[in-house]
Amino acid sequence: MAVRRPVQRIGEERFSVRLDDHERRILGSLIDELRDALRDREERGPDAGSSGWSGPAGDPGDPVARLYPPAFPDDPDAEAAWSDLVRPSLDDARTRRLERMESTLMADELDETAASAWLGGLNDMRLVLGAQLGIAEDDPPAARGDDPDATRRVVFDYLGFLVASFVDALTDDLADPGRAAG
C-alpha cells in the first residue's frame, strides 16, 4: 500500500496540503523556534556561542551553523569576505521563507512560490534539528527505545518526509528524462 503524500500538485502552479491541526501546530512552533534562533544568532554574531536551538546538554556547537557551511574552510580571509557578501541575502531569504510559511500555515492550497518557501523552510528546520540531535549525513537511523530524544527524532524524520513530499510535488510536472521527445 502506497503512502499518500501530504502535498500534491493539483494544477499548473497549485498544490494541495493535507496536514492536521496537530501537525500545523508543531510546524508553527518550529517556525517560531527557528526564527528566534536565527535572530539570536544575528544579534550575537555568527561566531558567538550556541543559539536558542542549541543541541543536547553539553553540546558546545551551534546547530544553526549547519545552515551556513563554509565556502572557503581553509582560507579565513576569503571565508570572511564571502560571508560578508552573501550572508545578508541568505538571512533575508530564510526570514522571508519563514514568514511565507507562517502566513500559509493553515492553508489547504499553496501557490508555487509558497510551496517553494515551505520546502526551503522545512529543509532549514531539518538541518538544524539534525545538528541538535548530532545526526550526521551517513548515520543510520537510531534506535528509538530508550532514546531521550526519541520524540525529536520522530519530528526530524517527519520533516524529511515533508521535504520529500514537497520535492515530489514541485517536480511532478518535469519531463521524464527517459521519455523520448516526439
- Find out whether 65 and 132 touch, Cβ atoms under 8 Å: no
**E strands of 12-112, at which residues?**
14-17, 109-111
Residue 31 counted as domain residue: yes
Residue 182 counted as domain residue: no
Total number of domains constituting the chain:
1
Residue 48 counted as domain residue: yes
**E strands of the chain, at which residues?**
7-11, 14-17, 109-111
Residue 2 counted as domain residue: no
pLDDT digits (tens, 9 = 90+) for 6-57: 999 999 899 999 999 999 999 999 999 999 988 887 777 655 443 333 333 3
Alpha-carbon distance of 125 to 33, in angstroms, equals: 9
- Find out whether 98 and 31 touch, Cβ atoms under 8 Å: yes
- Find out whether 99 and 34 touch, Cβ atoms under 8 Å: no
Amino acid in position 135: I
Residue 20 counted as domain residue: yes
Residue 102 counted as domain residue: yes
The reported pLDDT for the residue numbered 55 is 36
CA dihedral for 75, 91, 69, 50, sign (positive or negative) = positive
- Kindly give, in sequence order, each residue whose CB lies less than 8 Å from that of residue 31, ignoring residues fewer than 6 positions away: 98, 101, 102, 105, 121, 125
Residue 105 counted as domain residue: yes
- Find out whether 109 and 15 touch, Cβ atoms under 8 Å: yes
Judged against a pLDDT cut of 50, whether residue 125 lies above it is answered with yes
What range defines the domain where residue 70 resides? Answer: 7-170
pLDDT digits (tens, 9 = 90+) for 30-42: 999 999 988 887 7
pLDDT digits (tens, 9 = 90+) for 131-166: 989 887 666 665 556 678 889 999 999 999 999 999
Q: What is the mean pLDDT of the chain?
A: 84
The sheet that has 109-111: what strands, in order across it?
7-11, 14-17, 109-111
Residue 179 counted as domain residue: no
